[in-house]
């Protein structure tokens, strides 16, 4: 993805894409509609592009997947990419079930069914695994259904700001400002 300014061949950031600007708006709007409060740290009155950049650069994780039967990631902000040790091009399109270890995928699927039924949950905690096999425990995670401007279901999103490394390298933990 390149930014095609006259004199520039600077790589385009994901948040600069019109599709991602629209998806960011859907993430922000759906969260507010479901939970009745805004995602933390985002400017109250800003352009769609400014909001997309703020969401992408937020200190907490935000991920989305589509509404297919085997959903694939459609969005991962910078914090998510760093935690899963994946570049944008690697995570987008990846089946979201791969974010969990195989023996924990049934628990994850049950949680996603609960979100589908109830619209959102704000008490999920689970174990996930990065590209390099690092395991981490999610702190309180909010998962919600995404709806388009016409209120049609179009996937699910998750956000969390706390996680703890597990296993041999479990010396670190992170807390964001969500």
Tell me, yes or no, whether 3 lies in a domain: no
Strands annotated E in 16-124: 61-65, 73-76, 120-124
* Rounded Cα gap, residues 94 and 117, in angstroms: 24
**By percentage, how much of the chain surpasses pLDDT 90?**
74
Give this prediction's pTM. 0.86
Does residue 9 form part of some domain? no
pLDDT digits (tens, 9 = 90+) for 51-105: 999 999 999 999 999 999 999 999 999 999 999 999 999 999 999 999 988 888 8
Would residue 7 count as lying in a domain?
A: no
Say what the pLDDT of residue 144 is: 98
Residue 68, domain CATH = 3.30.450.20
User: In the chain, how many domains are there?
Assistant: 1
Residue 85's domain spans which residues? 14-175
Average per-residue pLDDT for the chain: 88
3-state secondary structure 141-164: EEEEEEECCCCCEEEEEEEECEEE
Question: What pLDDT score was predicted for residue 100?
Answer: 85
Residue 103: inside a domain: yes
The C-alpha atoms of residue 59 and residue 172 are separated, in whole angstroms, by: 16
Q: What is the pLDDT of residues 126-169, one digit of tens each?
A: 999 999 999 999 999 999 999 998 999 999 999 999 999 998 54
Residue 92 forms part of a structural domain:
yes
Residue 57 lies in a domain: yes
Quick check: is 5 in a domain? no
Dist. CA 54–CA 49, nearest whole Å: 9
Does 6 map to a domain? no
């Amino acid at each position: 993805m390149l930014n095609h300014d006259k004199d520039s061949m600077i790589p385009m950031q994901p948040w600069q894409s019109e599709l991602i600007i629209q998806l960011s708006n859907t993430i922000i709007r759906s969260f507010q509609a479901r939970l009745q409060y805004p995602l933390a740290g985002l400017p109250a009155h800003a352009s769609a592009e400014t909001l997309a950049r703020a969401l992408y650069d937020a200190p907490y994780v935000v991920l989305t997947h589509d509404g297919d039967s085997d959903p694939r990631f459609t969005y991962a902000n910078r914090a998510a990419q760093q935690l899963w040790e994946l570049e944008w091009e690697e995570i987008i399109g990846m089946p979201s079930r791969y974010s969990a270890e195989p023996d924990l995928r049934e628990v994850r699927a049950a949680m996603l069914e609960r979100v589908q039924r109830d619209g959102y949950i704000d008490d999920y905690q689970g174990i996930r695994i990065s590209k390099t096999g690092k395991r981490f425990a999610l702190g309180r995670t909010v998962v919600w259904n995404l709806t388009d401007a016409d209120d049609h279901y179009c996937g699910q999103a998750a956000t969390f700001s706390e996680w703890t490394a597990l296993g041999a390298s479990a010396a670190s933990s992170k807390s964001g400002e969500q």
